[in-house]
Amino acid sequence: MLTIHAADEVRVGWDAEPLKDGAVAVDGNRVAAVGPLTEVAERFPGARVRRWPGVLGPGLVHEGPLPDAPTPRERVHAVLKGGAVAVLEEYVTSPGLRSAAERNEVVVLTRTRVPAIVEGERADLAVFDENEQCIATVCAGRLVHRRR
């Protein structure tokens, strides 16, 4: 299913200039397009549109130990709730954590990377409100966290 994620601002990289009233079209687990909402919606008529308040940008890399939680699944979910879609391998040492990361399609990296939204690449997105709190995380095209 094709979904358009629209926000007050879209940033293809967290250091990039913001695109006001921007959108990211996601087809399956890939970014299909990035641009002004009007142009993206015109290019993909009939796509489901999710509107988010705040700033939409690339999903983050969690660079430290995973948060404490009772189960590996909950530890991975805590990372997703913070807008991260990738973790560093050095902090995912147990088979349970690795399995939980794989099941949730969280990328396990050998070293950090600069997050970016790129057409044709994996659709990893995060939306932050005016207080810099994560309100939504999209991991490999799937909405995995939404704050109510």
Q: Are residues 34 and 66 in the same domain?
A: no
Beta-strand pair 125-128/134-139: antiparallel
Q: Are residues 105 and 124 in the same domain?
A: no
What letter would DSSP give residue 122? B
Mean pLDDT by 10 residues, the chain (148 residues): 95 96 98 98 96 97 96 97 97 95 96 96 97 97 92
What pLDDT score was predicted for residue 137?
A: 98
What is the Cα–Cα distance from 98 to 76, expressed in whole angstroms? 9
**Could you tell me which of 135, 143, 148 has the C-alpha nearest to residue 52?**
135
Q: Are residues 66 and 53 in the same domain?
A: no
Q: How far is CA 93 from CA 69, 96, 100, in A?
A: 15, 9, 12
What pLDDT score was predicted for residue 1?
A: 77
The CATH number given to whatever domain includes residue 129 is 2.30.40.10
Predicted TM-score (pTM) above 0.85: yes
Q: Are residues 48 and 87 in the same domain?
A: no
Q: Which domain holds residue 79?
A: 61-109
Q: Are residues 47 and 8 in the same domain?
A: yes
